[in-house]
Amino acid sequence: SAYIHIPFCKSLCYYCACNKIITHNTERAAEYLEWLKHEISIQGKLFDDSRRMTQLHLGGGTPTYLSNAQLADLMAALDAAFHFAPPEAREFSLEVDPRTVTPDQIHELHDLGFNRLSFGVQDFDTNVQEAVNRVQSEAQVVELVEAARDAGFQSISVDLIYGLPLQTVASFDTTLAKIIALQPDRIATYSYAHLPELFKSQRLIRPEDMPPPERKLELLELTIQRLTDAGYVYIGMDHFALPEDELSLARENRTLQRNFQGYSTHADCDLIGLGITAIGKVGDTYSQNVKETAQYQHRLESGRLPVMRGYRLNDDDRLRRDVINALMCHGRIEFDDIEARHAVTFRETFADALVHLEAMQRDELLAIHADAIEVLPA
């Protein structure tokens, strides 16, 4: 599995907390691509040739800032270094800014080997779009979703954000209705975190336009109600999927997993992070690349991987990771499962945590059984 960070954008979305470079100078992206290919070459030599890449995700920034010719160049470098699995075994996805592509380009992306697309919609309301400097029409999105279906993409996902400036329950209800009408395979609804002291671009949002905390809860409640009423399965956290989607089937079969790329049926793969700020996971180790392009280039020029920091999990980390994943993926922790995998007595190891959870049990947010903890429907 690989995550590739393409940091470039042509315009600034005020809400964005991602690592990004705002520029119209496409030469910067061309230069970055060359260094990215160099990193791919170095990383590829560290993995056995018999292994195949089954999962790939391009995020940003705006991956479609790169031309399709540049994306083809990138895909060729990845295939040469990591050896793509057969098409039927791949989960190759790409984040798409609807303002940056045409229907013809969508078809070309499928021809390049991508079989999943994620469209960044955020909100259809014009007032909200103008408040965050990301204006795109509903017609644009509809046209691209239809093109993706016509091209044969295996899965189409739409990203929304609740808690944006000027959002109301009524306006977001309208957006949800339009998204439901599109019937994407998956819908991600992210909670906006307004932290202007950390992210300069968020200071461009007027404080008086921000919805109060209680409205965010109303928006979340509305989202869950509308999407489940429309037949979507609540996968967990911020994700919904149609009943026949493989995420829904994996949740039902208790094989659902989650990694840095979100919910997946392939999260047990080693994850290679490529590009600035990218995070990788190999075995029980995590690593993150440097944040600045100058540092990135300097490390690669000297023949070194551009890793900024790393961490190796200990036994307690692995235990808590499995507990968290059980909650996030299945909404339930089976004590005997955790005990068998980690040689612990659950109630003894988590005695303090169980005491703190009693308040949530009284509020009917969860149930503590003799042999399990279960998250209850809100």
- Domain count for the chain, please give it: 2
The pair of three-digit structure tokens given for residue 196, joined into one six-digit string: 């202007």
Q: Tell me which of 224, 240, 264 is where a domain ends.
A: 264
pLDDT of the residue at 377: 83
pLDDT of the residue at 156: 98
Q: Tell me which of 201, 231, 264 is where a domain ends.
A: 264
HEC per residue, the chain: CEEEEECEECCCCCCCCCCCEECCCHHHHHHHHHHHHHHHHHHHCCCCCCCCECEEEEEECCHHHCCHHHHHHHHHHHHHHHCECCHHHCEEEEEECHHHCCHHHHHHHHHCCCCEEEEEEECCCHHHHHHHCCCCCHHHHHHHHHHHHHHCCCEEEEEEEECCCCCCHHHHHHHHHHHHHHCCCEEEEEECCCCCCCCHHHHHCCHHHCCCHHHHHHHHHHHHHHHHHCCCEEEECCEEECCCCHHHHHHHHCCCEEECCEEECCCCCCEEEECCCCEEEECCEEEEECCCHHHHHHHHHCCCCCEEEEEECCHHHHHHHHHHHHHHHHCEEEHHHHHHHHCCCHHHHCHHHHHHHHHHHHCCCEEECCCEEEECCC
198: left (phi over 0), alpha (psi -120 to 50) or beta: alpha
Q: CATH number of the domain that 357 lies in?
A: 1.10.10.920
Q: Are 128 and 212 part of one and the same domain?
A: yes
Would residue 296 count as lying in a domain?
Answer: no
Would residue 119 count as lying in a domain?
Answer: yes
pLDDT of the residue at 262: 84
pLDDT of the residue at 41: 97
Indicate the average pLDDT of the chain.
96
pLDDT of the residue at 248: 96
Would residue 52 count as lying in a domain?
Answer: yes
Q: Are 49 and 197 part of one and the same domain?
A: yes
Q: Are 252 and 319 part of one and the same domain?
A: no
Residues paired with residue 241 on neighbouring β-strands, in sequence order: 186, 233
Q: Are 225 and 352 part of one and the same domain?
A: no
Query: What pLDDT digit, counting tens, does each position of 157-199 carry?
Result: 999 999 999 999 999 999 999 999 999 999 999 999 999 999 9
Residue appearing with tokens 């993409």: 153
Q: Tell me which of 197, 230, 264 is where a domain ends.
A: 264
Q: Are 8 and 109 part of one and the same domain?
A: yes
pLDDT of the residue at 243: 98
Q: Are 254 and 336 part of one and the same domain?
A: no
pLDDT of the residue at 237: 86
Q: Are 202 and 87 part of one and the same domain?
A: yes
Would residue 332 count as lying in a domain?
Answer: yes
Q: Are 260 and 320 part of one and the same domain?
A: no
pLDDT of the residue at 378: 67
Would residue 10 count as lying in a domain?
Answer: yes
Would residue 343 count as lying in a domain?
Answer: yes
* Radius of gyration, CA atoms only, the chain: 21
Would residue 100 count as lying in a domain?
Answer: yes
Q: Are 97 and 223 part of one and the same domain?
A: yes
Residue 44 belongs to what domain range?
2-264
pLDDT of the residue at 259: 82
Would residue 289 count as lying in a domain?
Answer: no
Those residues of the chain that have pLDDT short of 50 are none
